[in-house]
Copies of this chain bind each other. A is one copy, B any other.
């Protein structure tokens, strides 16, 4: 195990412990919603966004305990978006990471409510985080609220993605969809860690540039894995994107050009990092890891 995968494993276990503390127990009423929440939150997510909060925060010397609740809040928002995206009227996915999706297991109504509760819980978690000053908490909520909503956030990306299923999109349009659908929250994760670490405005800007490329890299490699990886490594049926006529980078650009684009985006992420005034070893490793990931 490399030092970096050790960092990722440590993040996952710290975040899972904190999530356990934050989420209502699944014997507390309404039991159905709390079971659905825990089913989806503890479904084996990679905790990529929380790891980015921790890596960015560490870069600016923020103590881990100050970072964990916000890292978890971002994972709660990410999880709510997965639950809602999987619904029959949205992407209509029955499986995620090899397990039944929330609405398949608990019914549509409970899945919608679980997502709704998770979003409120995310903002409440940050509001209640007494280790951070009220000023910092307000900044985080404003930032994450913007990144989660419309017109420049996650929900806008999902809406554009749904609209794109009806008609062919170009590569720039696809990048715009991903910039909003997954990129906005990933940028917010990096910014959150940096804000908690009291980074300068200039560093925040460079870190945002890095994270925007990182989000794109994440999406391109996700698309590439859908084409090239085995079902076992992926935990879902590979080739699903093509069959569902979803626009993907390999589909639009071809496999080889998509790989070149991933390498280019990785270089741009690295270039942005070199402008940051602190040691960015961990953040560089994160970008390297995503470029080379196999699941």
> What is the interface of chain A, defined by CB distance below 8 A to chain B?
24, 28-30, 32-34, 37, 80-81, 84, 87, 89-90, 107-110, 112-113, 115-117, 119-121, 123-124, 127-128, 133-135, 137-138, 141-142, 145-146, 148-151, 153, 155-156, 158-160, 162-163
Pair B112/A151 contact, Cβ less than 8 Å:
no
A4 to chain B, nearest CB (A): 32
28 A-B residue pairings within 8 Å (CB atoms): A29-B160, A30-B150, A30-B159, A32-B159, A33-B159, A34-B151, A81-B116, A87-B109, A89-B112, A90-B109, A109-B162, A110-B162, A112-B112, A113-B159, A116-B116, A116-B148, A117-B156, A119-B119, A120-B149, A120-B153, A120-B155, A121-B145, A127-B145, A128-B142, A134-B135, A134-B138, A137-B138, A141-B141
Task: Find chain B residues with CB under 8 A from A24 CB.
Answer: 150-151
* Bound CA–CA A84/B114 (angstroms): 12
Task: Find chain B residues with CB under 8 A from A127 CB.
Answer: 138, 141-142, 145
Pair B123/A163 contact, Cβ less than 8 Å:
no
Pair B163/A32 contact, Cβ less than 8 Å:
yes
Q: Choose one: B87, B124, B134, B159; the contact of A137 (CB below 8 Å).
A: B134
A19 to chain B, nearest CB (A): 15
